[in-house]
Structure 1
Amino acid sequence: MSSSDLDTDDFLSIAVALEEKKRKKRSKWSKSWLLKRNDFSHTNLLEELRLKEPQDWFNYLRMDEDTFLELLSMVTPIIEKKDTKLREAISPHQRLAATLRFLATGKSYEDLKFSTCISPQALGHIIPETCDAIYRVLKPHYLKFPSSVAEWKAIAQQFENKWQFPNCCGALDGKHISITPPHDSGSYYWNYKGFNSVVLLALANANYEFIMCDVGTNGRISDGGVLENTKFGDLLSEGKLNLPEPAKPENSSRILPYVFIGDEAFALRKHFLKPYSSKDLTKEHRIFNYRLSRGRRIIENVFGIMTSRFRIFSSPINLKIANIEKVVLACCILHNFLRRKCSASYLPPENVSNDIGLGIENLTIPDVMLGDVALQPLERTHTRNPPQEAKEVRNQFMAYFMEEGAVPWQDKSVGN
């Protein structure tokens, strides 16, 4: 019988038969060893560490037991599932522990299944869902964006007390996060460094904590335009951040506006300061750059601390873009949570320096904390012609640092 003798129904029947033949019948819904999760998973290991090696518990999940249990109680109402007649649900404890281990190690789902006894397919749902839950329950308490004059002033007071930079409302920076791009995305995520990425833009206070995080801008966008691609950038440009009115720093009669600080990747604005260009610097310019760098490096160090604790950033993240955003935001808010809940072990005091007497090139957190940081900096933008008002604000801060705001070690730090 030739193909011309077959009608549409015959072709359809043949296609269905071939498709059914291709399908492999599933004899069971899960591998037998995965059903023995209570025997083989890391749950038993965690119990042993809890009883005998609390420091190893901390290294395993990046937090101590009390902090883990507090976080578990917060996310359980969101991630808890009910048992069915066919199978027992994976417990919130197992879901949270698997997620924290994923963030801490950056292992693939296929690799993680051997320590969690959870299938890669299930992990593909559990981990993004748990990351989203972590962000949702912690955000109101640990990543609350300032909205009042009093809140901005409190942040500025910290910068003045700790880093001798008055009227500073935060240090801003952005990093490229390496990803495995979506299929058929072309060069949409390809950045100037030569790899695919999404950008994490963040603002930090003087206490090594995030106060704003924005993730998801594709790596191809001009790095100088990343800020303009965020809600924070819009509010800054429109003057809607509710910043305090210009005020006098302590022991000064000079009135200075409240500002944010960053590096050469961003444009100079009335409320955003960046260093003077490295060409033809006077001593006054070098001192301003040094003083700004002491405050600005806070956000650099926050990135360094976070990536040394959560190794998910050490290799390209191979997830859907929406899930990458959930993972990154979960790491950011966990950084703040752990910074407050178990600060002595998460960021030991001996690893934090006040940088007094150090030159600009030394204004980084010690290498023991940084490790092999995978986040890459934004590209330095070409020289722009900033508004005259912005130049005058920067000059006012420079004059303050040279006179009543001078610190004893700044001359030595910048050299002759």
Structure 2
Amino acid sequence: MKPAVACALRQWQQLLTNNRNQERRRSQRWQARMRKAILLHLEVQHPHSYKRLNSSVPVPELYFGDGCLLKDFRMSRDSLEALIRCLGPERRQAWGHHMTVLTTVYWLAYELSYSVVSRAFQVPLSTVHRLVHQGVEDIAALRQSVIRLPAGPELEEVGQGFQQLADSPAFSSCVGAIDGCHISVTIKTPPGPSGQDYINRKLFPSIQLQTMRWDG
């Protein structure tokens, strides 16, 4: 390839990369404006009611702002917004679709009590209970569209595979297996501000590995 052609190709690739980056930044700015608009709507929807969302609450403000969500929700912003989209259109309820998802994910991420989540979001305890139950039901309803279980001849074939692996007929009806383990990290605490995230419940640093086996 001639040097002039190679240089032109590099410049073209760089131009495409710059255009993609600009488009991504525009999309991020638009999403941030939409989140702020939703927050404003929730604030003024019930200005003289307990349903009014307090915008100074740190946890929900992280989502409606530009903060990193991984530490508090254990999900990236893209993953959380994808989950919100997958859960369908917003319901006609006082607290809004976003608050239902945020409350549920926060509760699931840390296995917290309802009272702790109530204080974190500054909403009534009974409301947290209702939002979490509704959110869990909505997420569970997605299983029909995101999880495909074997059936018919495929089910029998998968069961036979687990029976052979376990060398026991007790596993002939097994359709899948999932497990996890903590892999110890050699250094005491990983560097950086997120180093404490690697400390497990037994107080040593590790990386969690989750594996799933299913040929389907």
TM-score, normalized by length of structure 1? 0.28
Instruction: After TM superposition, list the pairs within 5 Å mapping 1:296-307 onto structure 2.
Output: 299-301=178-180, 304=181
Question: In the alignment, is the contact (CA less than 8 A) between 1:113 and 1:119 conserved in 2?
Answer: yes
| Displacement after TM superposition at 1:68 (Å) | 1.3
Q: Which residue of 2 aligns with 1:141?
A: 145
Could you say which structure has the higher helix fraction?
Answer: 2
Q: Which residue of 1 aligns with 2:168?
A: 268
Residues 41, 120 of structure 1: alpha-carbon distance in 2 compared, 3 angstrom cutoff? farther
Shift in Å at residue 101 of structure 1?
A: 0.5
The residue type paired with residue 104 of structure 2 is T
Question: Distance in 2 between the 1:271 and 1:40 partners?
Answer: 50
Per the TM alignment, residue 271 of structure 1 is displaced from its structure 2 partner at its CA by: 6.1
**Cα pair 1:58 1:65 within 8 Å, conserved:** yes
1:228-279 per-position Cα deviation (integer Å, ceiling 9, x unaligned): xxxxxxxxxxxxx3437xxxxxxxxxxxx93215999xx9218649xxxxxx
Q: Distance in 1 between matches of 2:170 and 2:114?
A: 47
Compared CA separation, residues 299 and 33, structure 1 to 2 (3 A): same
Structure 1 position 34, deviation (Å): 6.8
Residue 111 of structure 1: aligned partner: 116
Q: Do residues 243 (structure 1) and 157 (structure 2) align?
A: yes
Distance 1:148 1:64, change over 3 A: farther
- Residue type matched to 1:80 in 2? R
Distance 1:120 1:271, change over 3 A: closer
Q: Is the 8 A contact 1:34 1:119 kept in 2?
A: no
Give CA deviations for 1:325-347 in whole Å, capped at 9, x if unaligned.
xxxxxxxxxxxxxxxxxxxxxxx
- List alignment gaps of at least 5 residues for structure 2: 1-47, 183-204, 210-216
**2:202 aligned residue:** none
How far did 1:121 drift?
Answer: 0.5
- Could you tell me which amino acid in structure 2 is paired with residue 243 of structure 1? E
Structure 1 position 63, deviation (Å):
1.7
Deviation at 1:92, TM superposition (A): 0.9
Shift of 1:367: 4.3
Structure 1 position 299, deviation (Å): 2.4
**1:81 to 2:92 alignment:** yes
Amino acid of the structure 2 residue aligned with 1:90: W
Question: Aligned letter for 1:259?
Answer: G
Q: Amino acid of the residue matched to residue 124 of structure 1? A: H
| Pairing partner for 1:38 from 55, 58, 61 | 55
The reply on whether 1:92 has 2:103 as its aligned counterpart is no
* 8 A contact 2:57–2:122 mirrored in 1: yes
Change (3 A) 1:61 1:272: same
TM-score (norm 2): 0.51
Structure 1 CA distance for aligned equivalents of residues 139 and 125 of structure 2: 21
Per the alignment, do residues 34 and 109 of structure 1 end up closer, same or farther by CA in structure 2, a change over 3 Å counting? farther
Counterpart position of 1:191: none
Residues in 2 aligned to 1:119 and 1:91: alpha-carbon distance in whole angstroms: 15
Residues 261, 59 of structure 1: alpha-carbon distance in 2 compared, 3 angstrom cutoff: farther
Residues 113 and 72 (structure 1), Cα distance of their counterparts in 2 relative to 1, 3 Å cut: same
Report the equivalent of 1:374: none
Q: Is the 8 A contact 2:162 2:171 kept in 1?
A: yes
Label 1:122 to 1:270 Cα distance change in 2 as closer, same or farther (>3 A). closer
**Kept after mapping to 1: 8 A contact 2:70/2:76:** yes
Counterpart CA distance in 2 for 1:46 and 1:34 is 19
Letter in 1 for 2:145: H
* Within-5 A mapping of 1:384-395: none
Greater RCO (CA < 8 Å, at least 6 residues apart): 1
- The answer to whether the 8 Å contact 1:98/1:127 transfers is yes
Runs of 5+ consecutive residues of structure 1 not aligned to the other structure? 1-30, 83-88, 153-240, 245-256, 274-295, 306-365, 371-416
Go from structure 1 to structure 2 and tell me whether the alpha carbon gap of 1:144 and 1:60 turns closer, same or farther (over 3 Å shift).
same
Following the alignment from structure 1 to structure 2, what is the Cα–Cα distance between the partners of residues 93 and 103? Answer: 15
Alignment of 1:210-359 (within 5 A): 241-243=155-157, 258-260=160-162, 268-269=168-169, 272=172, 299-301=178-180, 304=181
The runs of at least 4 consecutive aligned structure 1 residues that moved more than 4 Å come to 31-34, 261-264
RMSD of aligned alpha carbons? 3.8
What is the letter of the counterpart of residue 129 of structure 2? G
* Equivalence for 2:9: none
The alignment partner of 2:169 has SS state of coil
Distance 1:34 1:105, change over 3 A: farther
- Once the two structures are TM-superposed, the CA of residue 33 in structure 1 deviates from its matched residue by 7.5
